[in-house]
Amino acid sequence: MSVFLDLDDLYLSDELKSMRRLIRRFVEEEIVPNGEAWEELGTMPRAYWHKMGDLGLLGMSYPEAYGGTSLGPLASLVLAEELGRSTFGGVMSGVGVHTDMSGLHIARHGSDTLKAKYLPEVVTGRKICAVAVTEPDAGSDVAGIKTTAVREGDSYRLNGAKMFITNGVHGDLYMLAARTDPAAKGSRGISLFVVEKGAAGFSVSKPLKKTGWLSSDTAQLFLDDVVVPAGNLIGEENKGFYYIMEGFQLERICIGGHCIGQAEKAIELTLEWLKGRRAFGSTLWDMQNIKLDMAALVAEVQAAKQLAYYTAHLDAQGCDASAGACMVKAHFPELLNKVMYRCVQFHGGMGYMRETPVERMSRDARILAIGGGATEVMCLELAKKM
């Protein structure tokens, strides 16, 4: 019997249970055998994006009219969780940005023309999406962006730069935030646009060298008088900040899913190691202090798992789940880093070797407390609701 809670019967439909099995099979048959090579390559090859799209794994959050299945936030959570179990955080991040953090802006607020033009290729993985909000001087402080978009007849002229953009190198479509009203203060005056790779004046840096998430590409973007059609505006002008904030709720839930999958897999791998590793005349698992530490970690992870699933459930019911999403994002990445620290410690010297999955997972885990809103920012957001 697994020590981990099985919440599927409580929260998931039969269709979502079936999707979990399909995702897990894809992870085991396609990602795990190839992940090491993708770490060296710096990305998941497009053929595997196509495979995921053909299996319906990239369209679970998208409308059926454009090839999706409209399975909602719980489907996103399950996908994130199962990708987390792969032990390859880069694959997890690249796919998660595409499925739940970028293209959905078109699905939620794009015109019918934008939806028809882009979404069918998004859900099949033929077009890879990125979200371009962060700038060299504006990370968690979204209201501080400086990239500008000036209306000129039937188009906008964009100038500025974006930083730390996942799928930045190999992406095709960028959901890009720019300031359309320079006189507006803070969050007001920001709009969202679809920018296609290949647009004149749009350039992408070489892949940025990161500590972890090596199987996903991250880049800096440069916009030098990039002209995009006015029809590429997502939703209303000057409403972009609110669309970004709306998207954060699902993004934070998905990050919770990433953490669930990684934490549970790391614990499984560590338990296997502890029960087989002999030291001082017995196995490491025979040492009481190690048992107590591992049991405490399991309890903490399962408590956090309940919060993530309940928050996704609220979101699926159309309820305000923003407080829960802040809690998930504030707590679970910190907990995952705690789990990974102990798992590396209990692996001893092998936990510091690149051939050991927990070493890679410990590097991949660190960014989750920073990206998508740093822990401290999440706590401030939560405090505003108190």
Residue among 135, 251, 264, 359 flagged as catalytic: 251
In the annotation, is 251 catalytic? yes
Token code pair at residue 129: 């999406």
Q: Are 71 and 93 in contact (CB under 8 A)?
A: no
Q: Are 87 and 265 in contact (CB under 8 A)?
A: yes
- Tell me the one-letter amino acid at 114: L
Interior/surface letters 4-18, b for 16+ CB within 10 angstroms, e for the rest: eeebeeebbeeebee
Give just the sign of the alpha carbon dihedral 12, 6, 306, 251.
negative
- Tell me the one-letter amino acid at 86: S
- What is the DSSP annotation of 320-348? --HHHHHHHHHHHHHHHHHHHHHHHHHHG
Q: Are 87 and 25 in contact (CB under 8 A)?
A: no
The residues annotated with a catalytic role in the active site are: 251
